[in-house]
Chain A
Amino acid sequence: MLDSRLALDTRVALRPEPFGALAYHYGNRKLIFLRHPDVVRVVRSLDGDRTLAQTLEDCEIDESRWPAFERALRALTESEMLHEQYLTTG
């Protein structure tokens, strides 16, 4: 997961909330709670170009917290809110 290059589906909206944010997928109507402002910050930073590990580093997330972020992002991937981008040659 740390090596994957993730990007937010264009049909997903993030709404800021006191606890973090709500993520809503207009396509499959799934709603997910992002339960920490740092998770929201990381999700907004995903660009499909850098790996997750690079993004976490850039967002200055302490490595001890990475497993929790992986869990949160896996839930988003399973709901098709995040997609893995594959590098094309060229």
Chain B
Amino acid sequence: MSSTSPLVEQLKGGLDAPICLTWELTYACNLECVHCLSSSGRRDPRELTTDEAKAVLDELHELQVFYINIGGGEPMIRRDFFELLEYSISRGIGVKFSTNGAFIDADKAERLAAMDSLDIQISLDGTDAVTNDAVRGEGSYDTAIRAMNHLRDAGFGEFKISVVVTRHNVDQLDEFKSLADSFGAQLRITRLRPSGRGADSWHDLHPTQAQQRQIYEWLLAHGDNVLTGDSFFHLNALGEEPLPGLNMCGAGRVVCLIDPVGDVYACPFVIHDEFKAGSVRDEGGFTLVWKHSDLFAELREPQSAGACASCGSYDACQGGCMAAKFFVGIPLDGPDPECVGGYGEAAILEASAGERPRPMMDHSKPVRVADPERVPVSIGRR
């Protein structure tokens, strides 16, 4: 079984530097997607400055981090976005960034196409405006398609189309693949997690048990040409044939997240104090956090199979995703909420009696409600 290969055992003990480092550059966003992992919307005033961000890039260069995944919020909102992009690449750190495409016009597309070691991921959650905009907001489908057209026209080459698989778009996987092919792009599909604003939308959006099998079978048929960020390893309990990838939770071992204010979390899906390992602003910087934080040391210890120990599928699914369990209130050594063996639903039910941990660092824009008590104030001009 690949999940217990010597390499995977070694990786679980952690690496000298992350393979896959996600860096959310800003909490500011023009959109308000209902499943946003980082509850983005408003910029955090404590956001890392340009100089601080460059100092982190210097550290990553020293650590020989090969590339970083930049996200947000919408990273292109930052005024120093191109400056940081160019700095990173000049330091030998390749960049892949995720964007909703709103700020990619013809000029920016040309500029991006001229850069080496750069990869772009356009987020899209439906192959039609109705499906996509229900999750990502009105007009966001057209925005994404427009950006893709600009990238194609500029000769950017193979960019990525990144899809979060939900109950409502799972039947569109073939269409997503065709759409990607038509742009000469590569399709990436990832798992919906109950993190950030997803904590509130997950119960309505996550794929049903039957749809999980559909995803597994689709990936077995197409997986070699589709990226997944290794996010569907919990599905491996569905059959003998493992999905392509390492099939392990990389949190704190080969993966981590730097958030816009410089806090370091175990993975992009656990923005919560319990999974905060430190800050790049601490003495010793990112390097010390990665190498010596208590949290990461703990995650690199052998993990207990807990409630799943007696299930014959544990070797295949590894107990699933830590973040998914955490935000629905299931103990970390319990089953994944989407356990394909069916143990997740009972665990969710059991957890629903207690308090669910709330995602932290909520930067959602304030909800506008009409207030009948509010007295209109007019500000006179002097």
Chain A residues with CB under 8 Å of chain B are: 13, 15-19, 22, 24, 26, 29, 31, 33, 35
B92 and A15 contacting across the interface, CB-CB below 8 Å: no
Complex CA distance for A22 and B117, rounded to whole angstroms: 18
* Given A22-B19, A29-B94, A29-B119, A15 contacting B66 (CB threshold 8 A): yes
A26 cross-chain contacts in B, Cβ below 8 A: 66, 92, 94, 117
The prevalent SS among residues of A at the interface is strand
Closest to B16 in A: A17
**Which of chain B's residues have a CB closer than 8 A to the CB of A35?**
6-7
* Interface SS, B side: loop
Q: What would be 28 A-B contacts, judged by CB atoms less than 8 Å apart?
A: A13-B64, A13-B66, A13-B92, A15-B16, A15-B17, A16-B16, A17-B15, A17-B16, A18-B10, A18-B13, A18-B15, A18-B16, A19-B10, A22-B15, A22-B19, A22-B66, A24-B66, A26-B92, A26-B94, A26-B117, A29-B67, A29-B94, A29-B119, A31-B19, A31-B66, A33-B7, A35-B6, A35-B7
Residue in A closest to B13 when the chains form the complex, CB atoms = A18
A15 to B19, CA, bound (A): 10
Contacting residues, chain B, for A31 (C-beta < 8 A): 19, 66
A-B pairs with beta carbons under 8 A, tally: 33
Contacts of A29 in B (CB 8 A): 67, 94, 119
Beta-carbon nearest neighbor of B63 in chain A: A15
17 additional contacts (CB under 8 A) given A18-B13, A29-B94: A15-B16, A15-B64, A15-B66, A17-B16, A18-B10, A18-B15, A18-B16, A19-B10, A22-B19, A22-B66, A24-B66, A24-B67, A26-B66, A26-B92, A26-B117, A31-B19, A35-B6
Residues of B with C-beta under 8 A to A19: 7, 10
> CB-CB < 8 A to A18: which residues of B?
10, 13, 15-16
In the complex, what residue of chain B is closest to A23 when comparing beta carbons?
A: B66
* B-side contacts of A17, CB under 8 Å: 15-16
A35 to B, closest residue via Cβ:
B7
**In the complex, what distance in Å separates the CA atom of A18 from the CA atom of B254?**
13
CB-CB < 8 A to B119: which residues of A?
A: 29
Question: Which residue of the partner chain B has the closest CB to A31?
Answer: B19
Chain A residues in 8 Å Cβ range of B7: 19, 33, 35
Nearest-neighbor residue (CB-CB) of A16 within chain B: B16
Shortest CB distance A40–B (Å):
13
Least CB separation from A25: chain B residue: B66
